Structure 1
Amino acid sequence: MIYFDTAYMLKCYVSEPGSQEVRDTWKNEPATACCEFGKMEFVAALHRVHREGRVTSEELHILLRRWHKDQELGLWNWLPLHAMIIEEVLRMFETLPREVYLRAGDAIHLACARENGFTAIYTNDRHLKSAANHWGLTAGDVLV
């Protein structure tokens, strides 16, 4: 099983640079996981794509239906966002070097991946990739 952050998940549904490579990786894996937090991020990201005019209202609803169907088919394995992960994020920010830029949402993905035994997280987010090693993870990116 591999872990996708929300940026990679979005590429599975929205055509943009790198989408095909990410989709190929997704389809060649037996299972893909993401933190439950990713559900909110994903829907917000789809809304952003719609707001930017990259998809119509009809296309947005088609994408959401496909995403829900894929969940029903078990293509996404949602890892719970529980208090231990939140505490891990708090601890990590207390000791994270000053020069490391990391958003709270990305820290949630890193903590969730680590707490669930992953050694790598797939993302093309440069900040998340540069912070991964501080969490004992490697960052996989099929787009480099």
Structure 2
Amino acid sequence: MSTESEAGIYARESEFLDRYVQVGVAGSRVLSVSFPESPDEDAESELPLLDRIQAYLEGDNDDFSDIDVAMTMPTDQRSVLESVRAVPYGEQVSVKQLTRMAAGLDPEDDDDIRLVRTALSENPAPLVIPDHRVRDGPSAAPPGVEQALRSVEGL
């Protein structure tokens, strides 16, 4: 899906999260999703993706799988985050299950488990890349936001 915008920072306040949802976009790709207490000064508020996020937070089932995210990280971390995107709305996996899902990783290898945990904690676009669906893993979203996202999906 195209974000239908030019490059920029977009933010909208979420009463549900008690903070802003901020999205960085370049062309048709999402560069980042964050949850600041106050948005960047030059952030604009009109972005179709922010409309979808607001609807999601109000209970719409949306997995955001059609959103193109710029994956500018090492290949092994990209594989982990692509695997997270395959976890359906309302379902969750463990770090070991996610490690098994990622190509070439061994859930019994401590280094591979560490790699998965690092990829999750450095996720550039939490919510769009739903690290909150990994029940025992770190999230790049603040803890309160992670719990709110989990509650939206009944996790």
Shorter chain as denominator, the TM-score bin is: under 0.3
Query: Looking at both structures, which has the greater relative contact order when contacts are Cα pairs under 8 Å and sequence separation is at least 6?
Result: 1
